Each structure stands twice: as C-alpha cells, then as structure tokens.
Amino acid sequence: MDSIPAKRAPADKEFWEPVKIDDDMKVSVITPVYDVKAEYLNKCIDSILTQTYKNLELILVDDGAKGDLPKLLDEYVGTDDRIRVIHQANGGASSARNAGLDSATGEYVTFVDSDDWIDEDMVARAVERFDKNDLDILLWGSFKVYEDKNGRQRFEKYMPYEADIELFDEDRKKELMLKTMTGVHPVFKEPATSFGSGSCCSKLYKLAFLNKNELRYPVGIKRAEDVNFNIRAFDKAGRIGYLNAHFYYYRQHAASATYLYRPGGIQVFTDALNELGKFIDSKKGDPLFEQVYYMRCMFFFLESMDMDYINKANKAPRRDRIGSMKEVLQSEPYKSATQKLEYSNLSFAKKIPLFLMKHGMMGALMSMYKLYRKV
C-alpha cells in the first residue's frame, strides 16, 4: 500500500488528505509528441514517471515529431522500463492517440499532452475514486497555466463541475454530453460551471470499456477530435464520476493555433462539425441536442473569424472577406444552425452575433469582433 502525503496545489487553497491505495491495476498513460519544446516535453515525462502510483506504463507516440525529438524519446526508454515509444509518420492527434490505445496494456488509460504536466498524485487519486465506484470514466479538474515573458506563471482553475459527483444519473449524463459542445446553457444545473468537458485530458477510462464499444478518435479531422471522442464515450458509459480536484496543468500558449492565420480555416471546423453531426443524428427527436449542436456551429464560425476573416495576415479586400463569410453561412451546417438556433439558448452577449448572422450583417459582425479583440 502506498501512502500519499498531504499537499497543496499551486495557486490553490485545497489540501489533499493522505490516502492508501493498492496499485494492482495498471494504468496506461498516452502522450502524443509532434512539435513541442524539449524542456516542456521533459517536464511532462518527468511528471508522469514520478507518480506516487507506480504501476503504470508511459506510451510516447512519436507522430512524425520534429527535429531531435524522436532521439530524445528513444533516450528516455533506457531510463525506465515502463516507457515505450511508438514511431509513426505524422497522422495527427487522433492517429497518435489511437496508436497509443491500440498498444496499451493497462486496465485503465489516461492522456497527457506533451507540453502539459500532472501532479504527482494524479493517477493515485484517480484510481482510488475509479475503483471505489467501479467506473467506466472519471473526470477531474485542471489548471490553465499562463506564463508571461519573465517566466512568471499564473494558474486558473478549469473544471466542468465545482463539487464531487460520485455517480452520474441519466439527466446528469445527458448534461455532460451537452457540455462537451458548450460550457453554458440555461438547462445546466449546479454544480455545473461555465466550462466544457470535451478535452481528452483530465480523464481516466476503463480500457476494456473503450475496446468493447470500439471507441477511437476520428481520423481526418484537425479540430475537436476529443469532443467527438468523448461525447460518444459518455453516451456509451454506464458509470461516470467526477472528482473535484485539480491535478492537470494545461499550458496556454500566446501563439495559440486558434489565432494563427489559416486561409480557408473554416474547413477544419466544418470537418469537425460534420463528424459531430453524425452523433447528433443518432439523437433525433431530442431538440436540446440539436440546439446545442447549432450553438457549437455558431461558435466555430465565430472562431474561424480569428483564423481567417479578421486576421491581420489576411490581405484580401474587406468586400471579398464579407462575401466569403456570407457564402459559408449559406452552406451546411451553418445555414441550418443560423436559421434554427433559438435566442433563448444564448446569453445576451451571444445573441448579438446571432442576430447579425441571421440578417447577413457580416460587416457589422467583423467590426464588432475587431473591437472585442482590442478590449
């Protein structure tokens, strides 16, 4: 039995009391690696190998990693016999995670992105709650980590709920699926927060459950892969729990891919929405799923503005950009979403862009978002 010491998380006031737990169940930790700073990768790997829960394997998936990263991964293999490296041509995050799932030998599996890190007690705490309630999936909270140019870090809590949920009933499970698409909706009840639940990280899955239901990440889409995976996993799961603790540190980058210029960037969102739409079709007859899906369509369209239409790197005439936006809104799934999304689902701040979209006022929408970005 391993004793876990009490400790305090950075930027947090919660104390974790010691627990005793058997480490009979093996945990597979899957970390895809593609383009990451070596120092971030080292911190990530070290945080996994120093877990107080020792019965784990670390599967590092070299997804066509850049530079010297493949060599760095291979060097780690000789330092700890719990490490395995998979080398493959670049296939994207979904392909890398699936490769890890297909080779995992643990009873449980969790994901850690290569530029993030985890608290030393994360696996032990998760397994303890998982075993206690015989779960298929366990969720917990995380910290978003912001770092300024001087290296000072700021921690911000991110969690879908703000109290423990030992076992989700059917109503709460439906809410959880909806929260993979949007964090805020009038029907969500306490202890739900305004944050979503779609990330692949900060979760522990029973591998036999994933395999039995043939749950894998959708290959071929570059956005919201984890949303598409988790909404299906939540739907199939019979026993889901939430642990109100923050063990995962999610590094936020100033040059986020969300804001990188990508001509025609709307396509990555369209691909993700089309895949999500397949799941929504299975929920026909439930207008709430359709309305929240339409919300996600609207939000992705607005996100695409940052990547393309109002991005400073886009030198196309304003008239041409407005024309492109109108053309997108006449295509699916955005046309149906704009027409059918009801104002009652949205906060006042979100009702304004929906109004502008419904009335084809793309110039006003562009001006509003440019002003928003300056605030």
pLDDT for 375 equals 47
User: Rounded distance, CA 99 to CA 271, Å?
Assistant: 22
Q: The tokens of 339 are what?
A: 């027409």
| 362, 322 Cβ separation under 8 angstroms | yes
pLDDT per residue as tens digits for the range 9-27: 454 445 556 556 778 999 9
Residues 360, 327 within the same domain: yes
pLDDT per residue as tens digits for the range 172-224: 999 999 999 999 898 999 999 999 999 999 999 999 999 999 999 999 999 99
User: Rounded distance, CA 94 to CA 346, Å?
Assistant: 31
Residues 292, 227 within the same domain: no
3-class DSSP state of 248 = strand
In this prediction, residues 101-123 reach a mean pLDDT of: 97
- Our count of domains for the chain comes to 2
CATH number at residue 170: 3.90.550.10
| 176, 197 Cβ separation under 8 angstroms | yes
- What residues are paired with 143 via a beta bridge? 157, 249
Residues 205, 326 within the same domain: no
Residues 191, 228 within the same domain: yes
Q: Residue 46 has what DSSP assignment?
A: H
- pLDDT above 70 covers a percentage of the chain that reads 92
- The last residue of a domain, from among 225, 251, 277: 251
pLDDT band at 226 (very low <50, low <70, confident <90, very high): very high
Residues 185, 278 within the same domain: no
- Give the chain's length: 375
Residues 242, 105 within the same domain: yes
Residues 266, 242 within the same domain: no
Residues 83, 203 within the same domain: yes
Residues 247, 264 within the same domain: no
- The last residue of a domain, from among 212, 232, 251: 251
User: Rounded distance, CA 135 to CA 238, Å?
Assistant: 8
Residues 247, 287 within the same domain: no
Helices 170-179 and 225-236 meet at what angle, rounded to 10?
A: 170
User: Rounded distance, CA 259 to CA 328, Å?
Assistant: 19
| Overall pTM surpassing 0.85 (yes/no) | yes
98 phi, psi to nearest 5 deg:
-65, -40
- The last residue of a domain, from among 251, 280, 308: 251
pLDDT band at 264 (very low <50, low <70, confident <90, very high): confident
> Which domain, by its residues, includes 310?
260-374
Residues 335, 191 within the same domain: no
353 phi, psi to nearest 5 deg:
-60, -35
User: Rounded distance, CA 228 to CA 272, Å?
Assistant: 8
Residues 140, 286 within the same domain: no
pLDDT for 261 equals 79
